[in-house]
């Protein structure tokens, strides 16, 4: 998508053809800076400290991390060590493991002298496939928004989203935001309620930033607010992303997603989750029970980073000194609360039957 | 309650016998400062800018505001002007209106020369009555915690609360936190999940601070977190306060309370709301429809105040520049999601029948 007129992806190959470059999402929305990843460790750290985040982008970054891990050593040992290092970065997003496995499948049986070329080729494919998947998620999801718009002619369609599942979370287009970009670009009158998404504020910082850059009307709200808005008819549809979709349709996503799904159900508002196939974990039958939930450093809760009056980006402590904090990064929304899944192949029910209907090649996989 | 060994109320008469003094809650937990209220306008502003907050304390501050409004002029006009000014400060907490009406009832038919004395006497009574009501809320509510403790011997009772309904929100003891203080003081093993409570962070700043000062084990969590904890058996009971309880048992409380009540219901966890009688609005039959919800300045969402590395309290911008924000301060939890109301007279069902059972003198009031 465009940033001040210039088209960007969230990750790209540097001009020298071997380093990867990313947008440093830890300093957005206050500064727009790109970072050059030159080593496996650079890529792993970028994922860990969340310079890149969002399940599809984590996968794409891991793919380039595998390329960088082969730079000086294309041995089997280097390949497996790179995979192991990257696997340890974050536990919940399944796209990470998917992308590493894709890279290993493309590289394991290659002769060593061909591995670098094959790695960059597959990493580029993974990125291009993600862009195409997200574009199709938009084409499939926009129909849901058009249906709502048709029922309230002349009025704004209000869409609530949580965290950032926009182009910054993928390689381009986004998952949850792709239908919204498509709707806006078609001239539909849409407005987005962007949940702030504490503790890391991806909604206020990233979703608001990218919607603003694209000109999509939106309003930032505290995470506490969505229930009240839904009670009072101010939300027509919820669309979120997911970091891992279980085979039964349960969806792990940024902490707090479950609360919004409950409010949507209580107010008869459709709650959709948008995802590319790489987010599906066919091996998990009960997402609430079995999807691992990352716990991160408590300072992400006790402190908040923002732009100070003097123009510097500062971290300030917001909670009482000495009080411990808990920092669960994701929760799992049970499939029963999800109206449907928006994928690159179409919209389906959040269930194994629904998913297998779109991905029949997976019918015999899983547990 | 005690602050570093010294007993405090949240509001008290100054030594000179006419000014009121408060703890400036806008700079907690970073600084402990008291503020002297010398005029009606001082009191009204303290409520508006939330140097004092919490429905019962807003009422107590308004009572002293009425005293201050009579300092130089005890005429009927001054009395009514003081009431009108204070009524405009904040719209949702009914204790504000209740306290003003109590003061008017005590003063309207008094001769002018007796009004000052009568005002201070009634304001002191309102404060003492609130302390006593909150103490009894604790005595009634602690039984619920004891019942849970009895069912899990040797294990911690985990209690989730939202916003601050502690002694800082009342004159002393608190509403939601009073049963917790009583349980802790009795030696029960309790632990509190303190919702951060964006946008103004009363949970992280005030609840964590006062629990910490009293030695009650607690953990600060982002508002998004409670649903996940409830799904995984880490919450035994929720207790919150309320700013206005409708005659039908619907409860207006800090924005986000409704989401926690939904999660409690979805996980079969009891959800209690603690309140003194002054919080009940017998005239409202449908709280979701009719309780007015305050909207505050959007900078409370776009910016966050905290302690910077240099020791100063600073405000930093957290959301994308140019993105608008919505700031709804309260939501209404329907009575159907409330397990029970904890009042100074006992615990009742969240319904008109339940409330009238405890307050039979109100049976013929209301609509």
For residue range A46-56, what is the model confidence (pLDDT) as tens digits? Answer: 999 999 999 99
B 245-284 residues inside an 8 A Cβ radius of A: 254-256, 258-260, 262-263, 266
Q: How far is CA B119 from the centre of its chain?
A: 23
Question: In this structure, are residues B1 and B7 in contact, taking their beta carbons and an 8 Å threshold?
Answer: yes
Would you say the pTM of this structure is higher than 0.90? yes
Closest CB to B212: pick one of A260, A320, A331. Answer: A320
Helix (H) or strand (E) holding B218, with range, is: strand B218-221
- Scanning every residue of chain B, which has its alpha carbon at the shortest distance from the alpha carbon of A202? B319
Nearest to B208 by CA among B198, B219, B197: B219
Smallest Cα distance from A231 to chain B, Å: 8
Instruction: Return d(Cα A17, Cα A13) in angstroms, integer.
Output: 6
d(CA B40, CA A294): 51
Backbone angles phi, psi at B354, to 5 degrees: -60, -45
Q: Which chain A residues have a beta carbon less than 8 Å from that of B318?
A: 196, 201, 204-205, 304-307
Alpha-carbon span B213 to B242, nearest angstrom: 23
Average pLDDT, chain A: 97
What is the three-class DSSP state of A194? strand
Among the partner-chain residues A266, A314, A331, the one whose CB lies closest to the CB of B227 is A331
Give pLDDT, residue B352: 97
CA quadruple A307, A308, A311, A314: dihedral positive or negative? negative
d(CA A367, CA A285): 7
Q: What is the CA radius of gyration of chain A?
A: 20
Residue A366: what pLDDT?
A: 45
Bin B346: left if φ > 0, else alpha if -120 < ψ < 50, else beta.
left
A2: pLDDT confidence band, cut at 50, 70 and 90?
Answer: confident
Residue B365 has pLDDT above 70, yes or no: no
Gap between the Cα atoms of B254 and B258, Å rounded: 9
Give the tens place of pLDDT for each residue, A157-204: 999 999 999 999 999 999 999 999 999 999 999 999 999 999 999 999
The angle, 0 to 180 degrees and rounded to 10, between the axes of the packed helices B94-107 and B112-151 is 140
Mean pLDDT of all residues in B319-329: 97
pLDDT at B364: 66
Question: B86-125, pLDDT tens digit by residue?
Answer: 999 999 999 999 999 999 999 999 999 999 999 999 999 9
User: Average model confidence (pLDDT) for chain B?
Assistant: 97
Asked whether the beta carbons of A173 and A204 are under 8 A apart, the reply is: no
Cβ atoms of A224 and B263 closer than 8 Å: no
Q: How far is CA A152 from the centre of its chain?
A: 30
Residue B173, SS3 per DSSP: coil
Is the distance from CB of A193 to CB of A221 less than 8 angstroms? Answer: yes
pLDDT tens column, B275-303: 999 999 999 999 999 999 999 999 999 99
Active-site residue among A172, A243, A250, A281?
Answer: A243
CA B152/CA B157 separation, integer angstroms: 8
Q: Which of B341, B343, B294 is nearest to B56 (CA)?
A: B343
- With bands split at pLDDT 50, 70 and 90, how would you rate the model's confidence at A363? confident
Q: Compute the distance between CA of residue A142 and CA of residue A342 in angstroms, rounded to an integer.
A: 10
Q: A218 to chain B: which residues are within 8 Å by CB? A: 323-324
Q: DSSP class of residue A277?
A: G
Q: Answer whether the bond into residue A96 is a cis peptide, omega within 30°.
A: no
| Helices B76-87 and B55-69, axial angle in degrees (round to 10) | 150
Of A335, A343, A203, the closest CA to residue A279 belongs to A343
From the list A232, A214, A223, the residue with the least C-alpha distance to A255 is A223
pLDDT over threshold 50, residue B366: no
- Domains of chain A: which residue ranges? 2-129, 138-362
State the residue for tokens 């590319």. Answer: A276
DSSP state of A156: P
Chain length of chain A:
367
Q: Does residue B367 carry a pLDDT above 80?
A: no
Q: What is the pLDDT of residues B15-57, one digit of tens each?
A: 999 999 999 999 999 999 999 999 999 999 999 999 999 999 9
User: Is residue B50 less than 8 Å (CB to CB) from chain A?
Assistant: no
Condensed to tens digits (0 to 9), the pLDDT of residues A262-282 reads: 999 999 999 999 999 999 999
Instruction: Return the CATH superfamily for domain B2-129.
Output: translation initiation factor eif-2b, domain 1 (1.20.120.420)
Judge contact between B179 and B161, C-beta under 8 A.
no
φ, ψ for residue B99, nearest 5 deg: -65, -40
pLDDT interval class at A364 (50, 70, 90): low
Residue B144: which of B181, B192, B179 has the closest Cα? Answer: B179
pLDDT of residue A367: 45
A222-253 pLDDT per residue, tens: 999 999 999 999 999 999 999 999 999 999 99
Show the DSSP H helices in chain A as ranges. Answer: 40-48, 55-69, 76-87, 94-107, 112-151, 177-185, 202, 208-214, 226-231, 257-266, 287-290, 299-302, 352-358
> Can you read off the two tokens belonging to residue A214?
């694209």
Overall average pLDDT of the B318-342 stretch: 98
**In the CATH hierarchy, which top-level class contains the domain B138-362?**
alpha beta
Do A225 and B328 count as a contact with CB atoms less than 8 A apart? yes
CB-nearest to A219 from B229, B307, B326 is B326
Q: Do domains A2-129 and A138-362 have the same CATH topology?
A: no
Determine the 3-state secondary structure of B66 from DSSP.
helix
């Amino acid at each position: 998508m465009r940033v001040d007129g210039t088209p960007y992806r969230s990750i790209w190959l540097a001009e020298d053809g071997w380093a990867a470059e990313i947008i440093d999402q830890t300093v957005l929305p206050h500064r727009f800076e790109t970072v050059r990843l030159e080593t496996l460790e650079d890529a792993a750290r970028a994922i860990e400290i969340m310079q890149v985040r969002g399940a599809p982008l984590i996968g794409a970054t891991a793919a380039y991390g595998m390329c960088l891990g082969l730079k000086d050593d294309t041995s089997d040992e280097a390949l497996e060590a790179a995979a192991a290092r990257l696997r340890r970065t974050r536990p919940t997003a399944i796209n990470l493991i998917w992308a590493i496995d894709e890279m290993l499948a493309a590289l394991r049986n290659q002769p060593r002298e061909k591995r670098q070329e094959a790695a960059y080729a597959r990493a580029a494919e993974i990125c291009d496939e993600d862009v195409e998947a997200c574009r199709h998620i938009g084409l499939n999801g926009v129909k849901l928004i058009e249906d709502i718009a048709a029922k309230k002619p002349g009025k704004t369609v209000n869409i609530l989203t949580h965290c950032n599942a926009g182009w910054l979370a993928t390689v381009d287009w986004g998952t949850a935001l792709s239908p919204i970009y498509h709707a806006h670009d078609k001239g539909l009158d849409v407005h987005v309620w962007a949940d702030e998404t504490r503790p890391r504020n991806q909604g206020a910082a990233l979703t608001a930033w990218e919607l603003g850059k694209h000109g999509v009307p939106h309003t930032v709200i505290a995470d506490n607010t969505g229930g009240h808005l839904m009670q009072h008819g101010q939300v027509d549809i919820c669309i979120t992303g997911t970091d891992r979709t279980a085979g039964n349709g349960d969806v792990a996503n940024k902490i707090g997603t479950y609360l919004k799904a409950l409010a949507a159900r209580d107010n008869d508002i459709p709650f959709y989750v948008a995802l590319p196939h790489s987010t599906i974990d066919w091996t998990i039958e009960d997402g609430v029970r079995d999807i691992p939930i990352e716990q991160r450093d408590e300072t992400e809760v006790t402190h908040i980073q923002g732009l100070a009056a003097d123009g510097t980006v500062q971290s300030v402590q917001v909670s009482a000194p000495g009080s411990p904090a808990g920092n669960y990064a994701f929760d799992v929304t049970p499939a029963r609360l999800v109206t449907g899944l928006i994928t690159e192949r179409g919209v389906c029910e959040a269930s194994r039957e629904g998913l297998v209907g779109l991905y029949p090649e997976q019918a015999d996989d899983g547990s």
